[in-house]
């Protein structure tokens, strides 16, 4: 590789680095600087904008790191000839430490050392930032440090400690047949104790570990201790996640059994609050409808500024934020700025899931201490938690906790479906293993031991278009059968006897129940096995399956046909729909019992509403969705299709997230080697947040 002298030469070879925003920024900075930028700074900006699109908030301003980035690109473009020789000379470094230092000295008018300098670029912690991203990062760090430093809730008298301990013992009583009874620690109880004496707390854990149960019990504890702090708000990043949060919290308080299970919220509730009227009041305070983070903050059209901000705080005493892994740095910072100083904040999420689509990996950065064997504990707080839980300080230090974070590890869901739990655990851990044969053995074992729960099926791609098309059609024929019950339910619901009548809201709930039992998840949007190709094939099969029904609705050749499933791609609060919502098309039953126009139905098995298709503009087909879009959802059965080409999104976080959307069964279609290689790769996003904390 020759020593380039200008960025345009580099971009000509590495077209993936081209970015209209990069061009505009370099031109603007050159004007501000009064001359062309140094080549070294242009290289750094090129890397910065490329990585920002991939989720990083900054880059390391070090020659070794920058050269490694360009060497990786170089190796991706390098090809091996038939006689075993590479087509180019080995990579030679593009930049040196001296080049970097000289460029920073030359551009002192553009690069500041902190955000107060008001310069467009900031060099801090040996990292280069766009000023805006540094401001977000510092805002988050300042909020966490200030909230963590508030020790007022730890200063408890003996009576307070005894009261909280008694309540925790009641709330976290475990039955003799409790699946977690053989665990050394009741981590849910420890998490509740931690949150009770902390101004800010994170409870992390995989699916089915009891995060929602813990929060429901914690809220009962807090309402008993301080009933005046009763303004509780629930939020999540997406409409789907907010809906599931609402449903999960309400489910905790539903008492449909004459004898609630020992340890359940329904069992503990009357023991903590004996008065029935008081219980109803408490239940109404807690079981509120969760909203999206965007709606909580209040968006202003075409502006990044939010209605709720540092000058107009969110009015609440207790704020619960679910699925925090999906919140990017910008929205996390805006949320922190809008939180009152006296608000107790409890955040929930799975640190092993995919990070946000936009820049930042905030939850992962906040949980980094959990894997640090040298982490420093707040002994005063641990002493209080010890008094509340009965575990000694020394024993608490051996658990997965840090000063503000508790990790729940025991999965109640996967105790019944061990195959899914085992493969999820294997995917999460093998990247640490250096021996390929051990990695393969660890990943293969669950597929051999639990064939009824987890499957890995081989798919390939070919250089022949005809063969690829045949493979795609065959795959779709195999995976579409699990939508059969949804189509049967949809078909049957449109009739009363032989009369075509359309569906009611109650029937729509039953149809949603069938639809949400199964979902196809893909690693990528495009490509042979991406959602675009898969959805095109499945829509054809849906039209064919429901052809008679659509003939009666005169929608055989229409874009909107009975059985079409859509995924909303943009919030529209006027229509009450959010990014990530899934809907299906069906005819609405009119008051006279006849079939009305086609509507798109949204909701779930508990509540539904419909929207006329003419009002919908931001959507895509929803039979198959990307694994990214599936976060915050869960299904009985999942079909996960991975690209046959190892590409940047193929990481262990992606595979883990896809697998853990399944409650009972997951079938993975992948090239076996690509599956193994994906599990060995992990998302590493550059950020200075953990260093600041």
Annotated binding site for ATP: 205-212
Element (H, E) at 162: helix 158-171
Between the CA atoms of 25, 30, 32 and 33, what dihedral angle is there, to the nearest 10 degrees?
140
In sequence order, which residues have a C-beta less than 8 Å from that of residue 673 and are 6 or more positions away?
A: none
In sequence order, which residues have a C-beta less than 8 Å from that of residue 431 and are 6 or more positions away?
A: 652, 679, 680, 681, 682
How far is the CA of 377 from the CAs of 132, 370, 605, 630, in angstroms?
32, 11, 45, 36
In sequence order, which residues have a C-beta less than 8 Å from that of residue 435 and are 6 or more positions away?
A: none
| Residue 401, beta-bridge partner list | 406
| Residue 128, beta-bridge partner list | 59, 123
Of 47, 55, 130, the residue nearest 682 (C-alpha): 55
Q: How far is Cα 163 from Cα 221, in angstroms, rounded to an integer?
A: 10
Q: How far is Cα 615 from Cα 603, in angstroms, rounded to an integer?
A: 17
Secondary structure (3-state) at 85: coil
Burial class (CB in 10 A: 0-12, 13-18, 19+), 677: middle
Q: Residue 80 — φ and ψ, nearest 5°?
A: -95, 125
End-to-end CA distance of the chain: 40
Angle 276-286/211-225 helices, nearest 10 degrees?
120
Is residue 52 within 8 A of residue 130, CB to CB? The reply is yes
Between vectors from CA 461 to CA 458 and to CA 464, what angle results, nearest 5°? 145
- Residue carrying the six token digits 């902390």: 198
* CB < 8 Å & 24+ apart, contacts of 680-683: 680/430, 680/431, 680/439, 680/652, 681/431, 681/650, 681/651, 681/652, 682/431, 682/651, 682/652, 682/653, 683/55, 683/354, 683/355, 683/361, 683/651, 683/653
Please give the annotated binding residues, written as ranges.
Answer: 205-212
Sign of CA dihedral 445, 654, 323, 152: positive
For residue 457, the tally of other CB atoms under 10 A from its CB is 15
Q: How far is Cα 138 from Cα 116, in angstroms, rounded to an integer?
A: 12
Is residue 367 within 8 A of residue 325, CB to CB? The reply is no
Q: How far is Cα 170 from Cα 267, in angstroms, rounded to an integer?
A: 10
Task: List, in sequence order, every beta strand (DSSP E) within 268-421.
Answer: 291-292, 299-300, 303-306, 318-321, 344-349, 405-408
Q: How far is Cα 414 from Cα 208, in angstroms, rounded to an integer?
A: 7
Tokens of 666: 């997951």
Q: How far is Cα 41 from Cα 106, in angstroms, rounded to an integer?
A: 10
């Amino acid at each position: 590789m020759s020593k380039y002298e200008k960025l345009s030469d580099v971009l000509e070879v590495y077209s993936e680095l081209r970015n209209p925003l990069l061009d505009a920024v370099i031109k603007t900075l050159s004007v501000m600087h009064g001359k062309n930028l140094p080549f070294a700074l242009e290289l750094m900006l090129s890397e910065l904008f490329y990585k920002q699109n991939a989720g990083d908030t900054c880059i390391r301003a070090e020659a070794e790191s920058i050269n490694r980035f360009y060497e990786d690109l170089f190796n991706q473009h390098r090809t091996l000839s038939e006689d075993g020789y590479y087509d180019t000379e080995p990579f030679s470094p593009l930049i040196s430490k001296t080049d970097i230092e000289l460029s920073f000295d030359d551009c002192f008018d553009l690069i500041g050392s902190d955000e107060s300098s008001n310069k467009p670029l900031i060099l801090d912690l040996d990292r280069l930032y766009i000023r805006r991203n540094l401001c977000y990062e510092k805002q988050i760090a300042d909020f966490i440090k200030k909230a963590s430093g508030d020790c007022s809730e730890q200063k408890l008298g003996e009576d307070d400690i005894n009261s909280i301990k008694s309540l925790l013992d009641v709330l976290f009583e475990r039955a003799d047949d409790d699946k977690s009874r053989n665990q050394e620690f009741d981590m849910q109880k420890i998490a509740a104790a931690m949150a009770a004496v902390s101004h800010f707390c994170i409870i992390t854990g995989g699916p089915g570990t009891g995060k929602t149960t813990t929060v429901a019990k914690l809220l009962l504890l807090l309402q008993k201790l301080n009933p005046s702090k009763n303004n509780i708000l629930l939020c999540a990043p997406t409409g789907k996640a907010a809906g599931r949060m609402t449903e999960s919290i309400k489910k905790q308080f539903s008492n449909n059994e004459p004898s609630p299970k020992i340890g359940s919220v329904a069992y503990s509730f009357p023991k903590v609050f004996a008065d029935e009227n008081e219980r109803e009041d408490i239940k109404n305070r807690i079981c509120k409808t969760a909203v999206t983070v965007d709606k909580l903050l209040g968006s202003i059209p075409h502006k990044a500024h939010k209605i709720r901000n540092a000058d107009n705080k969110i009015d609440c005493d207790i704020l619960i934020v679910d699925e925090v892994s999906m919140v990017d740095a910008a929205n996390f910072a805006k949320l922190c700025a809008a939180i009152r100083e006296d608000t107790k904040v409890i955040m929930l999420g799975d640190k092993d899931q995919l990070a946000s689509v936009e820049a930042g990996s905030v939850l992962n950065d906040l949980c980094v201490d959990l894997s640090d064997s040298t982490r420093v504990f707040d002994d005063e707080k641990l002493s209080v938690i010890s008094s509340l839980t009965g575990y000694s300080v020394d024993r608490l230090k051996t658990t997965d906790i840090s000063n503000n974070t508790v990790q729940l590890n025991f999965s109640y869901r996967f105790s019944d479906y061990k195959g899914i739990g085992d493969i999820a655990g294997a995917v999460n851990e093998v990247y640490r293993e250096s021996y390929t044969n051990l990695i393969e053995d660890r990943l293969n074992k669950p597929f051999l031991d639990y064939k009824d729960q987890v499957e890995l099926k081989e798919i390939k791609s070919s250089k022949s278009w005809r063969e690829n098309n045949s493979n795609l059609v065959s795959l779709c024929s195999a995976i579409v059968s699990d939508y059969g019950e949804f189509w049967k339910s949809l078909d049957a619901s449109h009739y009363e006897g032989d009369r075509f009548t359309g569906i009611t809201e109650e029937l729509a709930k039953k149809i949603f129940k069938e639809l949400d039992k199964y979902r196809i998840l893909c690693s990528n949007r495009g490509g042979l096995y991406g959602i675009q190709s898969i959805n095109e094939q499945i829509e054809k099969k849906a039209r064919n399956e429901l052809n008679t029904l659509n003939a009666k609705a005169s929608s055989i050749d229409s874009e909107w046909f009975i059985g079409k499933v859509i995924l909303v791609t943009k919030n529209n609060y006027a229509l009450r729909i959010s990014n990530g919502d899934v809907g299906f098309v069906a005819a609405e039953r009119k008051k006279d019992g006849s079939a009305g126009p086609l509507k798109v139905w949204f909701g779930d098995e508990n509540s539904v509403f419909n929207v006329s298709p003419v009002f919908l503009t931001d959507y895509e087909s929803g039979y198959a969705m990307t694994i990214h879009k599936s976060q915050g959802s869960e299904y009985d059965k999942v079909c996960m299709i991975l690209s046959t080409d190892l590409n940047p999104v193929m990481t262990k976080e992606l595979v883990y997230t896809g697998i853990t959307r399944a409650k009972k069964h997951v079938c993975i279609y992948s090239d076996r080697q690509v599956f193994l290689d994906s599990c060995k790769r992990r998302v590493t996003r550059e950020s200075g947040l953990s260093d600041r904390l």
